[in-house]
Chains A and B, each alone.
Chain A
Amino acid sequence: MRRLFCLLFLLFAAPAWAGGIAFVVNSGGASISVIDMATQKEVRRIPSLREPHHLMLSPDGRSLLVGDTAGNQMLFLDPNTGAVQQRVPMADPYQLGFSPDGKFLTVTGLARNQVDVYDSGSLKLIKRFPVIATPSHLAYAPDSSTVFVSLQDSDKLVAFDLHAMTEKWTVPVGKTPAGVMWLNGRVLVADMGTDAIAVVDPANGSVLDHVVTGKGAHNLFLSPDRKILWVNNRAGGTTVSLDSATLKPIRSYAIPGGPDDMEFAPNGKIWITRRWAEKVAVLDPVTGSYETIAVGRSPHGIWLNPKAPSPAVISSR
């Protein structure tokens, strides 16, 4: 009987304390929304200084880094609770990413036209690369030898050699290059100025192919099982799934309001920020329908921690 009670307790109580926590960065509202994944409700907002955009978990999993561009500050949050660990001065941190080997943190300074490479442990600046225009998104080669950065206000993609700390090449790849991803030995670049993503040779930046996804192709994401490539099309207001091996489109979903960043929940749902709608869409890719969660102005970066305790329980402790 006691076992039965224990089982019943786990069945019904578990969702309350292991519901998970979602962080959504409100770039126009100078805050980070904390969402209870179980109830899909915003429970509180963490104030940032000015204009936060993107976020990334540290390699040791102890901190969630949020870059505040106009605030020139990097916020370190506890990924389980959202508690602010520290605020570190940093020049114009827009997009950020740790190299696969965990050695480097690359930060793009969109407004200051610079790409900074930091030692990921000490956060000491190793190298600053000045670039011609608005470095936006970034992706690493799997061996951490190279980082690729899109220059959004130009038509170019730039590659930096992280061993020699030199620029390898800067080449035109599309009208308004945005999202970047390494996939199957190629670099994919979403071109917001057109309706396609460019397939780029990482060796020299030459464009090998174009894959049409939708108007204003903006950002790229790979499903956790690596089988499906997801593309958000900013102008078309769609999210498109493609076979990651063949790049053949599978299905298009209408996600109005400027779909931008994306995260995958363990239950198969996909969380998408909608920049001009003050909402997050929680898309069921099977039915194609989505639920919405109200957040702050211009929601941009998003990160899910499904293993974290429910934020509602934390606040009641």
Chain B
Amino acid sequence: MGDPFDLTAGWVQEHLLIPVLYQFGLMNWEDVSYGWALFALYGAAQVAVTFAVCLPLERWRPVERWPDSDAVWVDAAYTVLSRVGVLPLVTYVLFYRAQVFVGGWMADRDLVSPTLEGLFPVLLGRQVATFVLYAVILDFADYWRHRLSHQFRWWWALHSLHHAQRQMTFWSDDRNHLVDDLISFVWFGFIALLIGVPPLQFPLLVLVLRFLESLSHANVRLSFGWVGDRVLISPRFHRAHHGVRAAGDRSCNYGAVLPWWDMLFGTADFAREYVETGDPSGDETLATGSYWQQQWAGLRRFGCVLRQRLARLRA
């Protein structure tokens, strides 16, 4: 019996995608389409598992109750686009190309392209240990990306879209400005090329990590306890990061999965209880606009900061 995800993706590929590709003379995309089928399935599974676990939790012990939840639906759209749609595919294809180019360039010079398994051959064939090491390094890189996105005004102008949500739920994890996503891609792409992250080798474990990230945004009174909160990031810990008083460069708790980096670099705050979320300094459109209105408002805020910066440089 094979992997059920792989077999389902194979069925989708054989019975749905290949006939269309063949009909339209696009058979040269058949490898990419199989990759997309896998991504889409794992993405759909991420969404389904998150929904199945987080929604009952949010109903059980919500931090807040709202008369209407229209703003949450836009966040749901962000999630579907980000996890099931074309975004992960574009990321995968671009990263794959970059990895082959860099690795090939090095191989031409008799250099071994960097990989953790190359550094530590004992990891070859030990998939879980390898993944955990990759995940810790990437989480560390994400801590600094996230912290810097709060420090630079131009970056915060983009990232504030993520913080504008006053009705924060498990759907809010993926509400990001596209340019902010692009910067994240370049950031992670660079780190991943340095350590040679394999794009499709550990999809199930990626699913677990993405679930934890979604859970940390959930509208639920949930802590993992004194010890647990110091091992993995809980909804209570991450909510403090989204608090109205923590917007911009006054924030805390920047970590995504592990709180260790906040503890190590002095930005952890375990004291704050379940605070209100949102960014009072931002345009209302960023909080309650449609998907494209939010994107446009984020771009305007970004442009405004750049213009101010240019004016200051000229003066």
Contact = CB atoms under 8 A, between A and B. Distances in A.
A92 B69 CA distance: 50
A220 to B, nearest CB: 16
18 contacts: A47-B124, A49-B196, A71-B115, A72-B103, A72-B106, A91-B103, A91-B104, A91-B107, A112-B101, A112-B104, A193-B27, A215-B22, A216-B22, A216-B27, A276-B9, A276-B34, A279-B2, A297-B6
Interface in B88-124: 96-97, 99-101, 103-108, 110-113, 115, 117-118, 124
B276 interface: no
B198 interface: yes
A111 B96 contact: yes
Interface of A: 28-31, 45, 47, 49-50, 69-73, 89-92, 109, 111-112, 125, 134, 152-153, 175-176, 192-193, 215-216, 234-235, 237, 256-258, 275-279, 294, 297-298
Interface residues of B, number: 44
A72 B106 CA distance: 9
A152 B27 CA distance: 9
A297 B117 CA distance: 20
Given A89-B110, A112-B100, A279-B2, A192 B27 contact: yes
From DSSP, what is the main secondary structure of chain A's interface residues? loop
B104 A297 contact: no
Interface stretch (B12-20, B137-145, B163-171, B226-234): B12-20
A28 B30 CA distance: 14
B3 interface: yes
Contacts of A193: 22, 25, 27-28
A193 B100 CA distance: 26
Contact of B198 (A30, A125, A152, A257): A30
B19 A235 contact: yes
In this complex, the member of A72, A192, A216, A256 whose beta carbon has the largest number of chain B beta carbons within 10 angstroms is: A72
Contact of B14 (A29, A31, A257): A257
Contacts of A72: 100, 103-104, 106-107, 113
A258 to B, nearest CB: 6
A111 B21 CA distance: 20
Nearest to B124: A47
A279 B124 CA distance: 23
Contacts of A45: 125
Contacts of B113: 71-72, 89
B128 interface: no
A215 B111 CA distance: 42
Given A235-B18, A235-B19, A276 B25 contact: no
A315 to B, nearest CB: 15
Interface in B1-50: 1-3, 6-7, 9-11, 13-14, 18-19, 21-22, 25, 27-28, 30, 34, 38
A45 B127 CA distance: 12
In this complex, the member of B6, B22, B97, B201 whose beta carbon has the largest number of chain A beta carbons within 10 angstroms is: B22
B14 A237 contact: yes
B103 A71 contact: yes
B87 interface: no
Contacts of A29: 201
Contact of A90 (B27, B96, B107, B125): B107
In this complex, the member of A49, A193, A234, A276 whose beta carbon has the largest number of chain B beta carbons within 10 angstroms is: A276
B198 A298 contact: no
